[in-house]
A and B are shown apart, each in its own frame.
Chain A
């Protein structure tokens, strides 16, 4: 039972990391940038969702509101910040690190502005369905309808995005813009708009991660929520483990990270919480520097 519960804890945590990792991958694919402000944007979307819940009262309305809000904000960031960045800092010695620095700055701005608008205290969003564990043979599992829903959402998102990328013209444009922007441009793809779209998709995915992270915990969040700083690191590590370029990789990376951490905390020491992700990442990078989903598979997805 302990073993099963440890696995379930890992899967649940991992599915949220996976959502975040998907957002990282979407941005990376469209603009070759790791967006360190991703968790901040997820947090901002959660505040959008909170505003919707407190006005309309339904989580199911808040979710699309947060997704649209997150997508619009992400698109805005791409349109303003990222394009200026490309214009001013795409060459020279700093070009390689400029996006990292700019998105870190954005993270700081988002946090400060949220604290100024909504204050530092805890706000609360209540889960739409029960988070009480399923009971089997009289013992309660660390798995609930809500956690099942999170898994379903991850799966649906993965499938939808995969279809979008594989089967639609838009997906083709997205892939082409990321891998060969010049050729894509020559073939009539509006590369710039497509990049913005990539960011918007990521913003929406991040919003889902933010909302579900919140309700899957105790429903509380604040500008300084521990969960959101963890989301930044864990989501990113999950994406890296998955190869940074593959949606499936992101999901597998998230689950792998969640499950491994869960087992380490359960059977080694619960004091290793902060160092465990670093060690896991180092090991993965040494064994498979290209991530668990190889470059080839990543390119195809």
Chain B
């Protein structure tokens, strides 16, 4: 009797729970999902809380700052661009659940700048935006695989790949540090293995390679890395890790008076972020750095000036760093893609617009984008600079020297790319 009651209760509660979940109705569909006469809805998943969120959680604010400016100036053909942001805590399970919500409940037109290789891969496999025809614009990872149009037909990369960066670093080492002993700090996951592949293709030989587990970067760990590099007596140390690894390394190096020739990868090389963690500017001085977009402190650059002005108004008091610049740049490119998608934008016309015109979209990057009918490759290179006495990455000799390459075995070449001028008022034309 008792057991039966319990069964009943369980069955009843199960049925109730599921019926309850089912009760919310499905909203009616518009002509194109996510596009109405007054708005265009986009969705973004990224870590807003948790250890992986530091720095990245500024991206939605940055993107919204630009979209708000755009909307205040007429939007896209009268439609306001709205961005729905979901916190995935950098967990693939959450990324899939939240992306499902964005696509199935919020009915967004496209996904914008989802972050993290494992997350984007899980979403591609489970949610399968490709089968649903949902564009995944400008994924926020340097994993080169996402540019594979066959595997990810609706996905567009934007950042140059880790492979490209390592190849360009290798080329720079060949030109400037031939015969020197080189050390490498890298993350012992795909971020690092992509880098190793790039260095291999560039023919760079390392005296010592120090891997670190993602999440283990701390001052104590950095003391260990430095001890290893010191013992190996290297001349050049490449830091191919995230910002927190670079900061820990440079901060401890200052304490231990360790000063090799530093070379910082772009992911962890943002001067604003590094200095905010208390690393003295002097440690950065003369380090070599790489970036696809101009230095965030370069107020002579029209894009940087424009973006930082908007951001300062939208999010007062928040430092204008690389994540903010990249976030706004992505929003800026998205606006142009939406505009180019025609008076009645659809998911198809949006992707067609990037395929045909994406390579000519105005944006702050100093290197060309590789979008075409056959390619979803984003930016294809970096400029090489040195950190100034105040610790800001600046072009060597005042002019930006850029290199471009691909994620395969193609050569590294000095680029003559001329960036398109910023459209009037920073609005898509």
Contacts and interface: CB of A to CB of B under 8 A. Distances in A.
Contact of B279 (A9, A13, A218, A272): A218
A96 interface: no
Interface in A240-272: 262, 265-266, 269-272
A217 B219 contact: yes
B212 interface: yes
A222 interface: yes
Interface stretch (B140-148, B220-228, B373-381): B220-228
A13 B49 contact: no
B248 interface: yes
Contacts of A274: 213, 215-216
A27 B220 CA distance: 27
B53 interface: yes
A227 B218 contact: yes
B343 interface: no
B29 interface: no
A54 interface: no
A266 B232 CA distance: 13
A269 B247 CA distance: 22
A195 B180 CA distance: 63
Interface stretch (A32-40, A75-83, A128-136): A128-136
Contacts of A227: 218
A281 B210 CA distance: 25
A30 interface: no
A216 B252 CA distance: 10
A230 B54 contact: no
Contacts of A180: none
A6 B54 contact: no
Interface string A117-131: 000111010100001
A224 interface: yes
B217 A262 contact: no
Nearest to A8: B223
A122 B220 CA distance: 18
A178 interface: no
Contacts of A2: 227-228, 230-231
Interface in B228-250: 228, 230-231, 244, 247-248
Contacts of A266: 224, 227-228
Contact size range, B: 35 or more
A21 B164 CA distance: 46
A219 interface: yes
Nearest to A228: B51
B277 A270 contact: no
A46 interface: no
Contacts of A121: 54
Contacts of A273: 212-213, 215-216, 221
Contact of A271 (B54, B57, B188): B188
A126 B279 CA distance: 12
A9 B212 contact: no
A270 B213 contact: yes
Interface string A195-234: 0000000000000000000001111101011110110000
A142 B228 CA distance: 12
24 contacts: A1-B231, A2-B231, A5-B227, A6-B227, A9-B220, A9-B224, A9-B227, A12-B220, A13-B220, A121-B54, A131-B255, A132-B257, A140-B256, A140-B258, A217-B220, A219-B277, A220-B277, A265-B221, A266-B228, A270-B212, A271-B188, A271-B213, A273-B216, A274-B216
Per CB-CB distance, the 7 closest pairs between chain A and chain B, nearest first, are: A273-B216, A217-B219, A218-B251, A271-B188, A273-B213, A5-B227, A2-B231
Interface of B: 48-51, 53-54, 57, 188, 210-213, 215-221, 223-228, 230-231, 244, 247-248, 251-252, 254-258, 276-279
